[in-house]
Chain A
């Protein structure tokens, strides 16, 4: 080392000691880096907005909102607060109302600079095409996939798996998790785990798993079921139904192995605010995007 050659005596010794210390530090930090898995992909927090005739249905508690029913403004606020994605669920069905939805999607896409998913009443390639062309990043199908599983393959083929979310509404019946349709009212023959694997094989890009047993209870997500589905699926799982506290999100991301957590009213009524939630989860060691 020519650098050391220019120094003499004590100075040189000191420099060599410092040099060795530096090498050891680098070596140690490299080993440390190897022992800590370098997964930096964050868990996602997703507010869900229910839409009817172009308006949010459930009330909200945003005092600073000029129009509490305006999904565009609410979506923009969530994006600013650090939501990682948004889901808009259209609970209307008539043709006229679908036109309103397309118009709404266009406005949201114009305003919001994070990804958003649109679901509700989608049953054809044409439906999906219209929503994606209006600016939706992903679409979500539910009953139509149960009715016609080939639709999942067709949509994945046509638009790519990355934008096809399949929502599963599930309920625990006689000791088994059973897929339900029509807002969780109608049971099917399908077992939830088998159905999750099937839609993955058919090309779904993501699973939105809602437990009808926990939905609305605020008693926590269906942790065991979420862990089972997320552990078996090689596509991301969004857990939904039951969020009532920040600790519930910790549970669903750790024990539940969920990739994302979705909630509606607790966010709308500001029972939990997104920046505080993400700070809390981050402190608990859960990878979070904490700057919007």
Chain B
């Protein structure tokens, strides 16, 4: 099986690479369209600022390549946000795979921003959380989030409920960092690599 991690200017792909190595999966880190299209699985990670990342993806035509992919794609953190319609961060038009906008957590007494640390998932649906305990804890670091919408397959609550995971056709996304979310995160990555689907 060929797994590709999309290479772009959003940092910290290292921990995704190590997480794949821990579960014995080989991968290729690349921004080459042909390589991405021929992969069985595509991971679109990301840590960083939305508008800078989108500009970089547009310059390389990846903003057209990614939404047109047919194999299972997993966007994580900023990768997930870039797959949504729009992000308040830098007033950015994103790729629009998911029909939802990304907004900053409203300033609320008692809630620090970024939302940083372990929080639990509820309302789990779909193959990625197969075999995972109820209300599992995963690790979040983010200041922006997508609302709950029909494509939500996991909910997290901080200030208000938001989409912790999204799913549409062959596209999956997680707001949290599965790669450093302990055994739960590891299982989610394994489940993604196990998905047998090409739309």
Report whether chain A binds chain B: yes
Interface residues of A (CB under 8 A from B): 37-44, 79, 84, 109-111, 113-115, 132-135, 137, 159-163, 205-206, 233-236, 259-260, 289, 291-292
Take A42-B137, A160-B49 as given contacts and tell me if A113 and B118 are in contact as well, using a CB distance cutoff of 8 Å. Answer: no
Contact of A160 among B48, B115, B116, B185 (CB under 8 A): B48
Query: Is B118 a contact of A110 with CB atoms below 8 Å?
Result: no
Counting from the closest, the 8 A-B pairs by CB-CB distance are A289-B137, A289-B118, A162-B141, A135-B14, A41-B119, A115-B180, A42-B118, A109-B18
Q: How far is the CA of A280 from the CA of B51 in the complex (A)?
A: 44
Contact of A113 among B116, B140, B156, B182 (CB under 8 A): B182
Q: How far is the CA of A234 from the CA of B106 in the complex (A)?
A: 12
Q: How far is the CA of A41 from the CA of B141 in the complex (A)?
A: 11
Set of chain B residues within 8 Å of A40, measured between Cβ atoms: 119-120, 156-158
Query: Is A291 a contact of B137 with CB atoms below 8 Å?
Result: yes
Rounded to whole Å, the gap between the CB of A159 and the closest CB of chain B is: 6
Take A40-B120, A41-B118, A292-B183 as given contacts and tell me if A163 and B12 are in contact as well, using a CB distance cutoff of 8 Å. Answer: yes
Rounded to whole Å, the gap between the CB of B166 and the closest CB of chain A is: 20
Query: Is B21 a contact of A110 with CB atoms below 8 Å?
Result: yes
Take A38-B157, A110-B22 as given contacts and tell me if A206 and B116 are in contact as well, using a CB distance cutoff of 8 Å. Answer: yes
Query: Is A135 a contact of B182 with CB atoms below 8 Å?
Result: no
Contact residues, B40-81 vs A (CB, 8 A): 47-49
Query: Is A42 a contact of B114 with CB atoms below 8 Å?
Result: no
Q: How far is the CA of A163 from the CA of B15 in the complex (A)?
A: 13
Query: Is A162 a contact of B114 with CB atoms below 8 Å?
Result: yes
Sample of 19 A–B contacts (CB below 8 Å): A40-B120, A40-B158, A41-B115, A42-B137, A109-B15, A110-B22, A113-B19, A113-B22, A113-B179, A113-B183, A114-B180, A132-B12, A137-B15, A160-B48, A160-B49, A163-B12, A236-B112, A260-B117, A291-B133
Query: Is A113 a contact of B186 with CB atoms below 8 Å?
Result: yes
Rounded to whole Å, the gap between the CB of A116 and the closest CB of chain B is: 8
Query: Is A135 a contact of B18 with CB atoms below 8 Å?
Result: yes
Rounded to whole Å, the gap between the CB of B160 and the closest CB of chain A is: 9
Contact residues, B79-121 vs A (CB, 8 A): 107, 110-120
Please indicate which of the listed interface residues B18, B117, B136 has the most CB atoms of chain A within 10 Å of its own CB.
B117
Q: Is B181 an interface residue (CB 8 A)?
A: yes
Q: How far is the CA of A42 from the CA of B115 in the complex (A)?
A: 11
Q: How far is the CA of A222 from the CA of B139 in the complex (A)?
A: 27
Q: How far is the CA of A137 from the CA of B15 in the complex (A)?
A: 8
- Chain B facing A: main interface SS: mixed
- Give 7 new A-B contacts, CB below 8 A, not counting A79-B182, A135-B14: A40-B119, A40-B158, A43-B117, A84-B118, A113-B185, A260-B117, A291-B136
Please indicate which of the listed interface residues A84, A115, A234 has the most CB atoms of chain B within 10 Å of its own CB.
A115
Set of chain A residues within 8 Å of B11, measured between Cβ atoms: 132, 159-160, 163
Rounded to whole Å, the gap between the CB of A128 and the closest CB of chain B is: 11
Query: Is B117 a contact of A259 with CB atoms below 8 Å?
Result: yes
Q: How far is the CA of A75 from the CA of B179 in the complex (A)?
A: 16
Take A291-B133, A291-B137 as given contacts and tell me if A114 and B182 are in contact as well, using a CB distance cutoff of 8 Å. Answer: yes
Set of chain B residues within 8 Å of A236, measured between Cβ atoms: 112, 116-117
Closest A residue by C-beta to B135: A40
Take A113-B183, A114-B139 as given contacts and tell me if A44 and B22 are in contact as well, using a CB distance cutoff of 8 Å. Answer: no
Q: How far is the CA of A138 from the CA of B1 in the complex (A)?
A: 32
Q: How far is the CA of A236 from the CA of B21 in the complex (A)?
A: 31
Q: How far is the CA of A110 from the CA of B11 in the complex (A)?
A: 17
Query: Is B133 a contact of A162 with CB atoms below 8 Å?
Result: no
Query: Is B18 a contact of A42 with CB atoms below 8 Å?
Result: no
Rounded to whole Å, the gap between the CB of B97 and the closest CB of chain A is: 23
Set of chain B residues within 8 Å of A135, measured between Cβ atoms: 14-15, 18
Set of chain B residues within 8 Å of A114, measured between Cβ atoms: 139, 180-182
Closest A residue by C-beta to B13: A133
Take A40-B157, A206-B116 as given contacts and tell me if A113 and B181 are in contact as well, using a CB distance cutoff of 8 Å. Answer: yes
Query: Is A109 a contact of B182 with CB atoms below 8 Å?
Result: no
Closest B residue by C-beta to A44: B117
Query: Is B116 a contact of A162 with CB atoms below 8 Å?
Result: yes
Query: Is A234 a contact of B112 with CB atoms below 8 Å?
Result: yes
Set of chain A residues within 8 Å of B48, measured between Cβ atoms: 160
Q: How far is the CA of A41 from the CA of B179 in the complex (A)?
A: 19
Query: Is B112 a contact of A259 with CB atoms below 8 Å?
Result: yes
Set of chain B residues within 8 Å of A292, measured between Cβ atoms: 182-183
Q: How far is the CA of A114 from the CA of B22 in the complex (A)?
A: 12
Q: How far is the CA of A110 from the CA of B23 in the complex (A)?
A: 11
Contact of B158 among A41, A115, A133 (CB under 8 A): A41
